[in-house]
């Protein structure tokens, strides 16, 4: 896999108005935080407060998680070094996260991590007293099994067939070995696929949890880059955030402040991506994840009207599970975090929490939009170039794209016409000379016959070119098909990593802080 081209992602129509204005620093009336920049990250590192007493707990929790998931960390491991370094006050984190899809899910899963690693590398290359380490936050408590249980290969969908309502990270990997074998039997017999399926079989064994399997796979891929994988479904970690949880349970600060920010955004022409909710927690009980609903006297209800008090919740904080909004607060409570790398939707819902962080007196992380990419086989890439356009042109709407292609084709046809007319004239002149020459008569007749045949072929060729302009242009159909396949559905969300085994080796490199759209070729 190699990068053949890239462009600033804000130059495309791929982003919402909210995200584009945020990353470009063009929002009205300062409704967002400052535009993300390297200087801002370094400056924030000087004022980022993180309780020193939390650092040993964080380190011990991470080491215990790796141990419990049967991952032995060698003292020379970059991951081990990075975890231990978190005891130091000048070491901070940069974080990204994602639901833990089977087999790592869609392509953007890897793009998120690659974006994170390039930012960490850039920050640590600066002559600055503070350094950062990369963290991948497994959304292990999410219960949207339907979303994480599917994969695709050669256009066919495959599903992990089990019943679940639990936090997905707690599920045992029962049945996944059979699914892996089925996929392996249908995949191409390449060395890359052989290595991939060995990797998957190594970690998705029946007694392993989905969280442990995901950690194992990511560790095998990214250990050299020092990527730390964190599972937030951890009692010790949740106890670190108990004051934030208590404040939210008592006073609904997320609901109040996010609604206030939502109103501000609407007044300034932005459409919030999510509606703030009054209750922002779930309850993990009996292998299920239930929505906590606030009732009278600050009590809460969950499954079938079952009630629980705030005190009981906080005594059993390991069962308290944050929703998408509370997760951001939880994350920033337990990590000395400077940066969060996310997709466009994540950026938008995090921007609803600016006033929330002010209320909690917490430092808001610098939000960095992850990089995106489209994989184009070399033949497809060459086909696009032959049409006289560039891959980024396929981001244009259909009408503008076809106009550009037709304009290019008309330009090419015009140039060809000029050359064909010159050739026709030249052939006619040669014909005239041969007729008027005193060369041997039978040879002249032979030449004239050949010239006339060539002229007729040339005229026929010109007629076919003219006719192609009058009928519906098949080139337009081809262009729209390419656009639909790669740029309308956005391949990174509809194609799955298992279809691209060489991506698991991650031998391509994103560079720079600027969010870019990359074109990869294989």
User: Sign of torsion, CA 165 168 172 177?
Assistant: positive
Alpha helix ranges (H) inside 268-377: 310-315, 324-334, 344-351, 354-360
Q: How far apart are CA 86 and CA 62, in angstroms?
A: 10
Confidence at 472, pLDDT banded by 50, 70, 90:
very low
Q: How far apart are CA 17 and CA 517, in angstroms?
A: 17
What does the pLDDT read at residue 209?
A: 96
pLDDT: which is higher, 301 or 420: 301
Confidence at 438, pLDDT banded by 50, 70, 90:
low
Classify residue 469 as exposed, middle or buried by CB count within 10 Å of its CB (0-12, 13-18, 19+).
exposed
Q: Which of 333, 371, 374, 369 is nearest to 351 (CA)?
A: 369
Confidence at 371, pLDDT banded by 50, 70, 90:
very high
pLDDT in tens, 267-299: 999 999 888 888 999 999 988 999 999 887 778
pLDDT in tens, 109-145: 999 999 999 999 999 999 999 999 999 999 999 989 9
Give the predicted TM-score (pTM) of the model. 0.86
28 Cβ contact partners less than 8 Å away, ≥ 6 residues apart: 268, 269
Only one residue has tokens 């309502």, namely 165
CATH class of 2-148+208-243+323-370+501-521: alpha beta
Q: Residue 125, Cβ neighbours under 10 Å: how many?
A: 9
Q: In DSSP terms, which residues pair with 139 in a beta bridge?
A: 99
β-pairing, 288-291 with 320-322?
Answer: unpaired
pLDDT in tens, 224-265: 999 999 999 999 999 999 999 999 999 999 999 999 999 999
Confidence at 443, pLDDT banded by 50, 70, 90:
low
Q: Residue 435, Cβ neighbours under 10 Å: how many?
A: 12
pLDDT in tens, 481-517: 878 877 777 889 999 999 998 888 777 788 888 888 8
Q: Which of 522, 501, 495, 505 is nearest to 105 (CA)?
A: 495
- CA 29 to chain CA centroid, nearest Å: 30
Domain extents in the chain: 2-148+208-243+323-370+501-521, 379-488
pLDDT in tens, 176-200: 999 999 999 999 999 999 999 999 9
What does the pLDDT read at residue 242?
A: 96
Q: How far apart are CA 172 and CA 168, in angstroms?
A: 9
What does the pLDDT read at residue 511?
A: 85
Confidence at 471, pLDDT banded by 50, 70, 90:
very low
pLDDT in tens, 385-414: 777 788 888 888 777 788 777 776 555 555
What does the pLDDT read at residue 331?
A: 97
Q: Residue 367, Cβ neighbours under 10 Å: how many?
A: 20
């Amino acid at each position: 896999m190699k990068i053949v081209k890239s462009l600033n992602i804000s130059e495309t129509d791929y982003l919402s108005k909210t995200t584009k204005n945020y990353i470009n620093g063009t929002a009205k009336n300062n409704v967002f935080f400052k535009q993300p920049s390297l200087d801002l990250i370094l400056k924030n590192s000087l004022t980022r407060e993180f309780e020193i007493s939390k650092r040993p707990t964080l380190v011990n929790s991470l080491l215990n998680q790796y141990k419990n998931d049967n991952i032995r960390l060698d003292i020379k491991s970059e991951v081990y070094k990075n975890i231990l370094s978190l005891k130091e006050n000048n070491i901070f984190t940069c974080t990204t996260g994602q639901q833990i899809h089977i087999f790592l899910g869609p392509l953007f899963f890897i793009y998120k991590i690659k974006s994170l690693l390039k930012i960490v590398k850039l920050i640590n290359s600066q002559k600055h007293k503070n350094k950062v380490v990369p963290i991948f936050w497994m959304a292990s408590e999410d219960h949207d099994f339907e979303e994480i249980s599917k994969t695709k290969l050669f256009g066919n969908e495959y599903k992990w067939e089990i019943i679940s309502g639990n936090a997905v990270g707690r599920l045992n990997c029962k049945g996944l070995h059979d699914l892996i074998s089925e996929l392996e039997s249908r995949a191409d017999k390449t060395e890359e696929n052989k290595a991939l399926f060995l990797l998957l079989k190594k970690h998705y064994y029946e007694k392993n949890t989905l969280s442990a399997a995901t950690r194992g796979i990511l560790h095998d891929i990214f250990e050299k880059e020092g990527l730390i994988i964190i599972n937030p479904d951890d009692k010790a970690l949740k106890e670190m955030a108990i004051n934030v949880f208590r404040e939210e349970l008592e006073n609904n600060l997320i609901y109040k402040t996010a609604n206030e920010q939502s109103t501000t955004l609407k007044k300034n022409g932005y459409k919030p991506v999510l509606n703030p909710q009054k209750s922002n927690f779930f309850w993990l009980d009996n292998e299920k994840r239930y929505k906590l609903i606030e009732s009278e006297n600050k009590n809460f209800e969950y499954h079938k009207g079952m009630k629980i008090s705030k005190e009981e919740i906080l005594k059993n904080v390991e069962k308290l599970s944050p929703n998408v909004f509370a997760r951001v607060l939880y994350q920033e409570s337990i990590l000395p975090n400077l940066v969060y790398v996310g997709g466009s939707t994540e950026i938008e819902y995090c921007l609803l929490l600016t006033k929330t962080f002010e209320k909690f007196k917490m430092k808001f992380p610098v939000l960095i939009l992850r990089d995106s990419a489209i994989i184009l086989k070399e033949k497809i890439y060459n086909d696009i170039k032959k049409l006289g356009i560039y891959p980024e042109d396929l981001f244009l709407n259909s009408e503008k794209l076809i106009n550009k292609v037709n304009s290019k084709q008309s330009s090419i046809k015009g140039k060809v016409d000029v050359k064909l007319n010159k050739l026709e004239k030249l052939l006619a002149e040669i014909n005239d000379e041969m007729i008027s020459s005193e060369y041997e008569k039978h040879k002249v007749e032979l030449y004239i016959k050949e010239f006339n045949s060539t002229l007729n072929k040339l005229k026929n060729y010109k007629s076919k070119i003219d006719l192609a302009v009058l009928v519906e242009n098949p080139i337009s159909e081809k262009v729209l098909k390419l656009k639909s396949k790669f740029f309308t559905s956005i391949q990174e969300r509809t194609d799955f990593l298992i279809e691209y085994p060489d991506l698991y080796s991650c031998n391509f490199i994103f560079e720079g802080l600027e969010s870019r759209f990359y074109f990869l070729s294989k």
